[in-house]
Structures are given as structure tokens and as C-alpha cells.
Amino acid sequence: MTEPTLDLSRPIGDEVRKTTCYMCACRCGIDVHMKGGKVAYIEGNRDHPINKGVLCAKGSAGIMQHNAPARLRAPLKRTGPRGSGQYEEISWDEALGLATAWLKPLRETAPEKLAFFTGRDQSQSFTSLWAQGFGTPNYAAHGGFCSVNMAAAGIYTMGGAFWEFGQPDWDHTKLFLLFGVAEDHDSNPIKIGISKLKGRGARIVGINPIRTGYNAVADDWFGVTPGNDGLLILSLIHCLMTAGQIDVDYLARFTNASVLVNQDPKSPDYGLFIRDDELRPQVIDSRTGKLAPWNGEGVEPQLTGTWRNAGFTHRSVFHLMADRYTDTIHAPENVAERVGIPASRIRQLAADMADIAFNKPVVLDQPWTDFRGKRHEKMIGRPVSVHAMRGISAHSNGFQTCRALHTLQIILGAVETPGGMRFKPPYPKPATAHPKPHCKVVPGQPLNGPHLGYPQGPDDLCLTDAGDPARIDKAFTWENPLSAHGLMHMVISNAHAGDPYKIDTLFMYMANMSWNSSMNTCGVIDMLTDTDKDGEYVIPRIIYSDAYSSEMVFYADLILPDTTYLERHDCISLLDRPICEADAMADAIRWPVVEPDRDVRAFQSVLCDLGARLNLPGFVNDDGSAKYADYADYITHHIRRPGIGPLAGWRVGDTGLQDGRGLPNDNQLNEYIANGGFWSSHIPAEAAYYKPFNRAYQDWAVTMGLYDSPQPYIFQLYVEPLRRFQLAAEGPGHRQPPDRLRGQIKITMDPLPIWYPPFEDAHVDPAEYNVHALTQRPMAMYHSWGDQNAWLRQIHGHNPLYVPTKIWAKHGFKDGDWARVTSAHGSITVPVALQESLNENTVWTWNAIGKRKGAWALDHDAPEATRGFLLNHLIHELLPPKGDGLRWANSDPVTGQAAWFDLRVKIEKSGVPNESQPVLPPLASPVPKAPSQLRWKITP
Amino acid sequence: MTTLPPPSAVKLGLVIDLDTCVGCHACVVACKGWNTQSDLGAPLSDQDPFGAAPTGTFLNRVHSYEVTPEKGPTQQVHFPKSCLHCEDAPCVTVCPTGASYKRAADGIVLVNEDACIGCGLCAWACPYGAREMDAAAGVMKKCTLCVDRIYNEALPEVDRTPACVRTCPAGARHFGDLGDPDSAVSQLVAERGGFDLMPELGMKPVNKYLPPRPRDVDQIDVLAPLLAPVGSDGKGLIAWLDRTLSKLPGARD
Amino acid sequence: MHPAPSVIAFTTFSGLGFGLLFWLGLGQPAPTGWVAFAFFALAYTMAVGGLLASTFHLGHPERAHLALTQWRTSWLSREGIAAIATLLLGGLFALLRMWSQSGPALGWLVSLGCLATVFTTAMIYTQMRTVPRWRHWTTPALFLTLSLAGGALLANRSTAALVLLALAAVLQLVAWITGDKQFAQSGTTLATATGLGEIGRVRAFMPPHTGSNYLLKEFAYAVGRRHALQLRVIGLILAFGVPIPLLAAGLTHMTALIAVLAHIAGVLCLRWLFFAQAEHVMGLYYGKR
């Protein structure tokens, strides 16, 4: 017998359609291979700036997501009680008529009675426009329980943070520090970056209680005890500052370390900057020894300046930093035990950073000119880079911890310099260039401005004239003044409690609030189904849009079925979370590579329709007709600012098509499709680094429409807006916090980074609840989106609780054992597994693998429902009472970020139950039963 | 044709870098997707895909191991595994029908599904767990090294590489000719000390694994002087700065 | 290894069938007419039935004829050829016997074919470098001895059966004693399987998939230690402990039936253990032994 002859040159399909992935929020480009009009195979787009051809497990499993049996098929109207799963399919006309009938009276009388919150939304600039047009102040997306600490700390400190905002300089960095990264986030760029570092022999340091994923390939692992990252970082700052291992020139020129601060406790401006008549903060110009504005032409700021002015002493920010961080309370020996890392290893890390930053700089032969007009002949970089995510963010000390991390980067001169961290357009963008929050409600009128923003002081809080919270989620109040992303996790409990007021309609998109997207899952389910004395639901109406039969679908009154990501238009816009890389400005689209085979519509197109029916400004023409036929129409024709629309590519200019600014182009989407679904424009070499301070970058950004005028700024090591809140808490000022919050604000709104213990430590007994409990998300599964996917659920079909050796041995656990895990709030009984590469006081599990029976078109005995579990049952949105008569939020006091990772538990061995506990009753699925076998081959 | 051909000069295979693999399963699913759509054989099926015990055919799976050195914390290693295209491939010689064969030209081990009776003996003979019987098709499936990609003239040249290699975001998978000592993959194996799995069994696998580089190496002694304090407190630091700045070449006046 | 009923039935019954045919080929006994028919029918029912049972686990039994093509390398192919050749020759020999014709040369050839068939069957397992327990001289020795002993019992060759059963019992004990150490002695461990042993102690942490798969179902069958011991005792008693004293006491029709049935049940039990206790090195990757 001879070898069979194989036909090895068959084409994959008959056509390739290039669009953008949406299996997570990473926004990779994909090549969708079509066969006979059907999706046959998906692989990465080699030309795409984000993923450069590679694709993760989720992306490659897109075909199973697109065809999942859990897809909703038509609009649904609830016919039984909430939670019963009893629905009837209705027409879109009826569905939209119903929604209009519910919402129109609200807009005319009390727009705030609509709470519109979107979850994993990639169209926030659009959904917020809709909400603004409606006139409700109650709009946000999911950032409040995701990573707002990171975003807000980054933007207030340095005008950008990680992921969409910034990235390590993968091509030059020599030491890369990775703090608590969720492995499903920024998934492919980080992996590509790690690959580059490995290829160049650069060092990777993982700082994470759990050594999996990226931490597994790290050269050094620091298994920090959760909630103590800030303490570790301040100790590194201590080591570097006391040794003088700091970039003095960078600090003087490009940070407010040289800005003078009023140091007289008797002054009404105590702790604030000296400003000139134009309100510009002042430095000492070392050329003259006199005061000068920070941005004055040719000014040489003096780092160690002091100044007496009108009888008040002023010292530079650097003085304050020197005093604080050289204090031996930050010495490694004094923090080692709490941090869970020996002092010698902390010193080793600090010494490594100093060595790489100052003995092994990256010098690029590229002249550039700073905003003061000074020409620099070279770009000198400190090749120490950092990336961090929810791990350090989702704590009640997360904001200050993130601030501390940025401070560490900045004292090394490692932000926006070669080898350090680099911003991606539209960043850098300082907090002052962002809007402030708006909340002024006038019935029948749009809101007075964007909902979300960056307050500069107490005057910018969203309070009513009576001083009460204006927003249902109490964002931008004294409890959490800088809640830049809103507090989605508080919406349902506040609406249920009628605190600060009752609402009528809860309108949500892609947010699984009755399951993994809420703390206190069972409590939230009770709130959604609770009725008042008249038998009416306490939250009277719930409208929900999702593509899949998620747990939240079962608690809505009206369901607007969304399309899959291959059936829709989207723009991954510069107004939102674009696909830019540090060297390029870029945006992208999704487009329907296949048409839906169900009676479903893209949610954004539905909002265009609903906006027109409700007569919302921006959604109707002057004659009252609908302004946008659908979302594609909006993407093409919406104008945000003169010359600026959702997409920056192929706009119409005076002489033809142009980038950045321009008039709408009817053919714009086709241009994107022809170019592979994205557009990008490279940043000139002279503008590539030092972007906040670099004239060439600032001018380029104006040309491209990122700014309307140059916006140079210096990094805010000392964040004056924090001090304004702190000052109010000390007494001065016309807007005053309630007395119960004064103490908290004084401590936590410190304008220089601090560390304080996670709040839960003071509310529960750390000796009894002696174990930290965390969740991580696997790289092959995104949030709850994945268990309806036949391929991915084989990889992660259930989730054990991983237990470190010490606890494993203490309880005598064996393979196959189960444990009862109890927090101050609740208890779960779950399977355990041993992990030796784990902080000795920490347990963890994969997030959102556990599923409710009946959801996601899975069988009731699916392992997700029988062995899978959620840690959410153990976490409450409020901390346990501590006897002061108050209930304190389980969140960061600066931003309101949900403090998921403060969780403390105790563990005991349990018997082996039939199923993970608690078991919730099954839901009646609104979609047909799934098939019992798959053989997914497209044969045309 | 179950008699092994004489060793080929070209030995196509994979080199997998255990230092770099982050365990993301991208290769696993890309492989599943490619070999499900492939016309070379039956699609990789899934049984009970939405039920209590979902199982399916996968030709590449990623294991995770913990390794505890004598000194230092426990390490974790992600470990992708697929057919190693052994030179002495017992999965080929045990096959009673000739369905299992090793290509004379490039050494790729394949299954001719039209001749496979689904007896499973080849999977028994494989120590690596590289072959899986497809429950729907009743034939043995295995890694084809994407033979329908690497020679596929309908694909752009840059894409003529196995799906797992093309998709790997961490660059932990390399494809090439391990029979050519000058090839990039052979050089990589030589530089990094690439090794065989279960060498004692003598299957002579073509695929090689690159070991993780040393982790958690202590080096404080060398760098400790960098952290020598310049002042005992904030004032000391400021004083040091004022002294230092004025001494620096080109110091500002 | 997964103890598939089809493979247990195949090896047990084809072993017995060819064992009986072996004795018939030697003319021990040498029945004629309908008695011959009955003996040969019994041998063929078991041998062919066993072979047919083995096709139950095939994905594509309709292609089974292809399995005869690869005799140069494949023990399974050789076994198929040996079995078919032996059965064809045996059929001819049976016809001769039914018509009371003798054909001693043909008979010996049939007996030789039976030995070859059982030997090739055993070699299918013995050849596996992946299953250290099987890769031992005791595997073919035991297969052959059990086949001949069972055949002798069916052929009513009491002395031969007595000797062979005793020999098989000893071989079985030797196979267990050596087999229990084979895996450890093979030198294949998780450390060599992963190549990570030089760094430190290797432990399987997360499996590739949370669910099961073909490999785990086929190769990672685990029998409890106590359970296995019980089954070994039961197997020994049934296969040898019951028939040997009955044989020694002299068989009656009734005790012969008991001896045969007990022996068959015992061999089924031992065969189940042969598979269930065989550890495939692949299991190491999943942290199994």
C-alpha cells in the first residue's frame, strides 16, 4: 500500500470577512472564513494593531458562541412572576411600543426614575448620549465594580492608566512588573508583550498571591498577601527614595514634585498649591530663584523649592514626599510580615528596579522639544515597566494603592519614556481635560452634560440642593467622591431600598446582575422579586437586553434580544475604548458578516429606534423623524464635535478623504471593511514618547482631533482635588461632608499616596476569618460569557476552590474533598483542590464558572450548576455592622469601587454534598433544548 | 502502510517553549476549529456538549504542573501536548489496517480515516496520549501538523504553518524542520537545551520541549549597595539632593 | 486500561475456543460424527464468538477485512490472519473428523495455528511499551497456558487440565508479583514524562479540561487496591480453586459443568483485572498511575 494522495491545497472557504472579535473586551481583529454564507472558521487578523494575527482560545471559539443554543430568538414579554421563566415571544413593534409607553411618561415627569446601566458595553459614548438625551442622571456602565480605582488613580495622577490607556514599552523594557492582572483582560497584547520580553531576555516579575498564567512564566514571583500591595509599593518607594535612586530631572520637569504647596495649617488654602492670577500652580524657577508658573516658557523648576508668601510657608511637593516616604514605617523590615514577603526580597526588588532604571537606561537618538520650549537631544528612558489590573484595584484601599504604584513608576522616570509605560491615544489626557459629572434633571429635557467625569473638588459632586445624592447609585457623593465610572453594583440595592429615591424602570444591557455581576447574588434576586404591600414589584419595571439566556433574563419584564457579535455593527471608537497602541491611533468596526437567523436586533439600533420614538434630542431630526435608521447610520453620521465622529478614518476633508477630523463619509464603513475592519495612523517618531510634555505630540493630537487645543500637563504626584475634599472634611469650605464621613475622608483622601488596611479587616475578626478569598478569570473564559460555548465549557466546566498547602494540611484535605467556606455575610460548600504555588493565607477560584440551573441553555445537571459555584454569595455590598449604628459600603471610599478582593473567610472540611451549596431552584429556560452532539462542519 | 519508512531527511515538528507558555489554551481551540472545518477528515465532534458530561475530541491539550524545587517557592509550568510525530512511532506499526502511517517525505504521522477501523490500538501504543478516537466518526483522530495548511497553496505563504503556531499569542510554539540542524527550530533546541518526553521509551519524538528558565534566582548581594541610604530622613534626602544637584555637570544655577 | 467487555469476552472466549481446537487438532479427544460436530461447534462458537465480540468495539467493523493487511508489523493483523487461517484449516479438519477421516498432519497444523493465534493475541498486549505491566514474558505464557488449560478442561483431558491449571495459577501469581512492580521499574515517571524532574518534584495541578475525555476513559481506569485484591482472590478461586479439586476427585457430568463454568467465570474475572490493573504511562500526564 502506498501513502494516500491528499488534496492539501483546498481553500478554507469561499470568502474572508474581517471584523472585530467580541469574545472579550480585548477587541482583536479576526478573519472570519465563510463557506456558503456561513461561518466556517475564525482566526486572527495579521494586519490588526491589537493582535497581529494571533488569537486566544475565546476568539477561536467564536464559532461556538455565534451558534450557541443559548441565543435568544425574539423579544420576550414576561407572563408569569419574575424568576419563573414564563414569557411569550412578541413582535418588535409590540416590544418597542411597550418600552415607549413605559418610558415616555417618565421622561415627561421625572426622568431620574429611569436607571439605565450597561454592563460589558463597548458603546458607552453612544449609550451615554442616549441617557443624556433622556435626561436621567442615572447612567453608567460596569466600571464601578470592575476597575475604576485603576482608571481614576491613573487619570488623576498621570492622565492615563493601563490597558486601553497605556501599555509597557514592550520593545525596550528590561524589567516588567505585573501586579494582580486578570488574565482575560488585554489578553493578546499582554501575551504578545511577554513573548517579546522572553525573546529579548528581559525580566518579568509577578506580584500576585496566585502563581498561575502570566505569573507562571514570571522569572520572579512575589506571592503578596491580598490587600497589602500598597504597603509593598510604598516600601519600594521608601527604599528607592532613601537611596536617592530617583530620576531627579524628570521629577523636577515633568511632575508636580516641584510645585509649591501651602504648608500653614492656619491658612484657608492649607495643602493647596500657590497659584498665580491665571490660577497656574507655581514652582521656583531655578534660573531666577523666583516663583514661576509650572508651564512658563523656559522655566527650570526647582525640585526642592521652599517659599514664604504673605506670611505662609510653602514647600515643594517633593519635600512632603521626602518626609513621608523616608519614614521607617515604610522600611521593608516593618512591612514584611503583613505583606507576606521577606524584607530581603523587597529590597532585592527595589535594587533591581534601581539597577535597571539608572544603570541600564534606554537612550534613543531622537531629539524632541518639551512644552516649555526646551529642546532635548535624546530620549532617555528608564526601562522598568508595570502593568496592573483588578488585583490591586478591587480593594477598599485600591485607589491609593494604584496611586502608589504610579508614584513608584514616576519617581523612576518610567512613564512615557523609552522602556517604561506608554500611553495610547486618546491618552494621555489629564483629569482636567475630562468632563466633570453632570446631574441636573429637568423633566422633558436632556441632562445638562455628560453623566460621568472627574470632579476637581466638592463643588463638582452630584448632590441635590438639599445635599442629598442626585444619582440612584450615589456616585459623586461624599461617600465616594471620585466615582468616575458610577456604581452599577449599588443600583439595585439602592433602588430596592428607595434610597435616595424610588425608581420606576431599570433598563440594563449585558449585565448579569442576578448572578455573577452582583455581590450578594441571592440578596439581589430577592430585591428584584420583592413586592410592596400592594403586591407590586418594589422595582416596578425591568427592561433587559442580552443576546443569550443569561441569569438576568429571567428577572426582566421585557427582553430585547441582541445579536451575536458576528451579526452586528459596532464602532470601537476613539470616543470610547479604541484599539490604539502606543505608536498608533486606531479605531475599528464590527459589521454583520452574517445576518441573524432569529428575530433579534442589535441593541444600539434598538436604542436609535427607541430614541426616535421618545423624541430624544440627538435621535430625531427637526421634523421629528428618526435621525438614524440604525446603529450603522449613527456610526457614519453622528457628529460629536465639529469634524469629530465615532470613527476617525476616511472622513471627508476639503480635498478628499482624510484622517482624524472631517465631515461624515457615507461610504466610511465600506472603507473600514475594505481595510480589514480597522483604521490606524502612526504617531511621528518625535512624538512617540514624553507625550504629555512633548510639543510634537500635542500638535499632532490636535491635528488628529484628539484635542481641540494642546493640553500639556505634568504628572500629579500630589493630587490637589483629593486635598480639596480632605480640606472640606477638616472644616473649611461651603460644601461640607456629613460628620459621620469626616474622619474617613480625612484619612482616605490623602493627596499623597498612603496605605490603610482594607475596611473588611476592621469589620470582621481577622483571627476568625483568617483566610483571604479571591477570584480570577481564566484566559479561556470571559466573565460569564463562555459556559454556553461548547468548546470552552469543556476546558472550564467547573471550578474547585484552590487551597494552599498550609491550609490543606491543617484541615487534612484530600483530593475529592469539599469545604464549607464562610464569610461574615454567607456560606458556601464547594469542592477543594491543592495549589502549592499560592500565598499561604489565600484561597481562590475561577470566577463566574458556576451557573444557575436552567440558564445558558445548559442541562440542569451541567457541572457548572452542580460543582461550579460563585464566591459572590460570600460578599455583600455593605460591610457587616460594627456597632456604630451605620452600615458602611464595601467599597473604596474614594471611587466607590466594589471591594471584591477584601473578602475574608474561614474554612472547614465538610461532608461531600450532592451539589455545591447553596443550590438555587432551577429556572425554566426560554430557549429550546440544546443538541446532544455537535459535528460542526459547514458543507455548502 | 504501517511499516515505517526509512528515516526522512526532513523531520517536520514543533518546538514548545515551556518558559513562555502562559497556559491560555489558544492553541487548543485553534486546533479544534481548524480540524473541525478541515476537509482532510471528519469534524472533531463533541458529545453531550451542553449537558452533564461534555466530552469532545481535541488533538492538543494544555496541562498544568506544579514543580517544587528544593529551595524557593513552587513553580507552575503550562504544558501543551499533541502528537510528537515520533521517528520510531509504535502507533504506526501496531495499526492492523495501514490507516496509520508516517509520511516518507517529512515524517508527519497521519491517519487515513477511510482505512481506519477504529480499533484504538494506535492510541494504546502512544505513551503521550496524542490520539483520540472520535466518538461520532468512529475513527482515530490526531494532530496532522496541519498538513493541509503547511503545504496549502491556497493560503498566503506566511500562513502555511500549523493553526496552533499561528494563533499562539505568547509565541511559545515554533514549527520547522528538526531534521535540518541549521533550521531555526533546531538552533532553538540546541541553544535552550530542548528535550524529549519520556526518552527512556525510545520513541524518538520529533517535537521538542524547551525547559523553563531558572526562576526566583537570588541576587541581592550584587545589587545591595544601590540601596545605601543617602540621608536618614526627609531632610537628609533633601540635603543630599541639594548637594548632588549642585555638583552634577551642567548643574542649574 | 478500560476493561471493555468486548475485549474481555474476546480474549477469554477465543482463548478457550482455540484451546479446545488445539486439543481436537491433536486428536485429544478424537471424536467423530455428531460428537465431533458438537466439539467443533463448541470450539468454533467460542473462538468465532470471541472474534466477533472483538469487533463490537470497532468504530468501523465493516472495514475489518483491512485488518489482515499489515502482518509485517502489526500483531493484531497477524492475529487476524492466524485466527482465520486456523479456523479455515480447523473447519476442513472438522469435516474430516465428522466423516471419521483422520488427518493427523492437518490436525497438528490446526493445533499449531491455535497456539499461534493465542500467542499473537497475547503479543498485542505484550508489545505495548506504554503498559509496563503487560510488557513481560508472563503475558504470552499466561495467555497460552490459560488457553490450553481451558481447552483441556473442555476437551475432558483431565490430567492435562490439572497440570495446566496448576501451571496457569502459578504463572498468574508470578505475573501479579512481577507486574505490581513493573511500572515503577520501567523508569517512566511524571518527571520523565514532562522533562521537569530536574527542577524539582513534579505534581499534576490542573488537568487540561475539567471534563473527561477519550484518553481518561480508555487509559486511566482506576481500581481500588482492596477491591483489586478481592477480585484476585475470587478470580483465583473460580479459575483454579474450584476446577482443580474437582478434577483431582474425578469429574462427573455435573462437576465437569461446574468446573468449566467456574473456570470461565474465573478467567473473565482475571481478564478484567488484566485490563483494569494495567496502567498506561499516558495516565501520568493526568496525575494518575
Cα angle A101, A105, A110 (rounded to 5 degrees) comes to: 140
Give the model's pLDDT for residue B248. Answer: 56
CA-based nearest residue in chain A for residue B34: A41
Q: Looking at chain C from residue 3 to 22, which residues have their Cβ under 8 Å from any Cβ of chain A? A: none
Q: Is B120 on the interface with C (CB under 8 A)?
A: yes
Question: Nearest CA to CA, how far is A211 from chain C (Å)?
Answer: 12
Contacts of A183 in chain B (CB under 8 A): 22, 24
Is pLDDT at B250 greater than 70 in this prediction?
no
Q: Looking at chain B from residue 74 to 113, which residues have their Cβ under 8 Å from any Cβ of chain A? A: 74-78, 98, 101, 103-104, 112
CB contact under 8 A, A12 and B24: no
What share of chain A has pLDDT > 90, as a percent? 92
* Mean of all residue pLDDT scores within chain A: 95
Give the model's pLDDT for residue A4. Answer: 93
CA-based nearest residue in chain A for residue B214: A219
CB contact under 8 A, B212 and C199: yes
Q: What is the CATH number of the domain that holds B80?
A: 3.30.70.20
Residue at B32 is within a domain: yes
Give the model's pLDDT for residue B253. Answer: 40
Confidence of residue B247 (pLDDT cuts 50, 70, 90): low
Rounded to the nearest 10°, the torsion over CA A886, A891, A895, A900 is: -170
CB contact under 8 A, C128 and B125: yes
Question: Which among B33, B229, B245 is the nearest to A243, CB-wise?
Answer: B229
Contacts of C193 in chain B (CB under 8 A): 127, 197-198
Give the model's pLDDT for residue B243. Answer: 87
Euclidean distance between CA atoms A537 and A527, whole angstroms: 9
Is pLDDT at A1 greater than 60 in this prediction?
no
Domain boundaries, chain C: 5-286
CB contact under 8 A, C63 and B97: yes
Q: Which tens digits make up the pLDDT trace of B3-25? A: 899 999 999 999 999 999 999 99
Question: Which among C75, C213, C281 is the nearest to B127, CB-wise?
Answer: C281
Is pLDDT at B208 greater than 70 in this prediction?
yes
CB contact under 8 A, A863 and C210: yes
Question: Which among B21, B114, B220 is the nearest to A348, CB-wise?
Answer: B220
SS (H, E, C) A448-513: CCCCCCCCCCHHHCCECCCCCECCCCCCCECCECCCCCCCHHHHHHHHHHCCCCCCCEEEEECCCC
Give the model's pLDDT for residue C223. Answer: 79
Is pLDDT at A787 greater than 90 in this prediction?
no
CA-based nearest residue in chain C for residue B58: C213
Q: Is A798 on the interface with C (CB under 8 A)?
A: yes
Confidence of residue A577 (pLDDT cuts 50, 70, 90): confident
CB contact under 8 A, C210 and A1: no
Contacts of B75 in chain A (CB under 8 A): 211, 216, 221, 837
CB contact under 8 A, A795 and C205: no
Confidence of residue A146 (pLDDT cuts 50, 70, 90): confident
In the B/C pair of chains, how many CB contacts fall below 8 A? 197
The C-alpha cell of A652 is what?
Answer: 471627508
Q: Which tens digits make up the pLDDT trace of C232-285? A: 999 999 999 999 999 999 889 999 999 999 999 999 999 999 999 999 999 999
Asked if A194 contacts A214 with a C-beta cutoff of 8 angstroms, the reply is yes
DSSP A756: -
Q: Is C189 on the interface with B (CB under 8 A)?
A: no
Euclidean distance between CA atoms A472 and A493, whole angstroms: 10
* Residues paired with A44 in a beta bridge: A30
Cα angle A822, A825, A828 (rounded to 5 degrees) comes to: 40
**Testing the interface with B: which of A28, A60, A190 to mutate, by most B Cβ within 10 A?**
A60
Question: Nearest CA to CA, how far is C2 from chain A (Å)?
Answer: 21
pLDDT means over runs of 10, chain C (289 residues): 93 96 94 94 96 90 94 95 97 93 92 98 97 97 98 95 97 97 96 97 96 93 85 97 94 93 97 96 93
CB contact under 8 A, C209 and A836: no
Mean pLDDT of A667-671: 98
Q: Which tens digits make up the pLDDT trace of A732-777? A: 889 999 999 999 999 999 999 999 999 999 889 999 999 999 999 9
CB contact under 8 A, B64 and A212: yes
Q: Which tens digits make up the pLDDT trace of B157-192? A: 999 999 999 999 999 999 999 999 999 999 999 999
* Total number of domains constituting chain B: 1
**Testing the interface with C: which of B17, B19, B62, B67 to mutate, by most C Cβ within 10 A?**
B67
Give the model's pLDDT for residue A143. Answer: 82
Q: Is B66 on the interface with C (CB under 8 A)?
A: yes
Question: Nearest CA to CA, how far is A633 from chain B (Å)?
Answer: 34
Q: Which tens digits make up the pLDDT trace of A337-355? A: 999 999 999 999 999 999 9
Q: Is A796 on the interface with C (CB under 8 A)?
A: yes
Question: Which among A798, A835, A836 is the nearest to C210, CB-wise?
Answer: A798
In the A/B pair of chains, how many CB contacts fall below 8 A? 307
- Contact partners of B by the rule of 3+ C-beta pairs under 8 A? A, C
Asked if B11 contacts B95 with a C-beta cutoff of 8 angstroms, the reply is no
Mean pLDDT of B133-159: 97
Confidence of residue A182 (pLDDT cuts 50, 70, 90): confident
Match 497602541 to its residue by C-alpha cell: A581
Is pLDDT at B246 greater than 80 in this prediction?
no
Residue at B3 is within a domain: no
CA-based nearest residue in chain B for residue C56: B119
Q: Looking at chain A from residue 863 to 922, which residues have their Cβ under 8 Å from any Cβ of chain C? A: 863
Question: Nearest CA to CA, how far is C252 from chain B (Å)?
Answer: 42
Superfamily of domain C5-286, CATH level 4: Formate dehydrogenase/DMSO reductase domain (1.20.1630.10)
Rg (CA), chain C: 21
Number of other residues whose CB lies within 10 A of the CB of residue A880: 15
Residues 6+ apart with CB under 8 A from A539: A492, A495, A496, A503, A506, A527, A528, A530
* Residues paired with A273 in a beta bridge: A261
**Testing the interface with C: which of B27, B65, B74, B203 to mutate, by most C Cβ within 10 A?**
B65
Rounded to the nearest 10°, the torsion over CA B240, B246, B249, B250 is: 140
Domain that holds residue B82: 12-210
Among the ranges given (A311-325, A530-544, B209-223), the one the predictor scored with the smallest mean pLDDT = B209-223
Q: Which tens digits make up the pLDDT trace of A9-35? A: 999 999 999 999 999 988 999 999 999
Q: Is C250 on the interface with B (CB under 8 A)?
A: no
- Contact partners of C by the rule of 3+ C-beta pairs under 8 A? A, B
Confidence of residue B252 (pLDDT cuts 50, 70, 90): very low
Question: Which among C59, C128, C219 is the nearest to B139, CB-wise?
Answer: C59
Cα angle A95, A97, A102 (rounded to 5 degrees) comes to: 95
Mean pLDDT of A99-116: 98
In the A/C pair of chains, how many CB contacts fall below 8 A? 17
CA-based nearest residue in chain A for residue B28: A57
Number of other residues whose CB lies within 10 A of the CB of residue A152: 28
Q: Is C203 on the interface with A (CB under 8 A)?
A: yes
Residues 6+ apart with CB under 8 A from A929: A69, A857
Question: Nearest CA to CA, how far is B218 from chain A (Å)?
Answer: 8
Contacts of B195 in chain C (CB under 8 A): 195
The C-alpha cell of A733 is what?
Answer: 469650605
Contacts of B46 in chain A (CB under 8 A): 790-791, 794, 933-934
pTM of the model: 0.96
Contacts of C69 in chain A (CB under 8 A): 1
Is pLDDT at A464 greater than 90 in this prediction?
yes
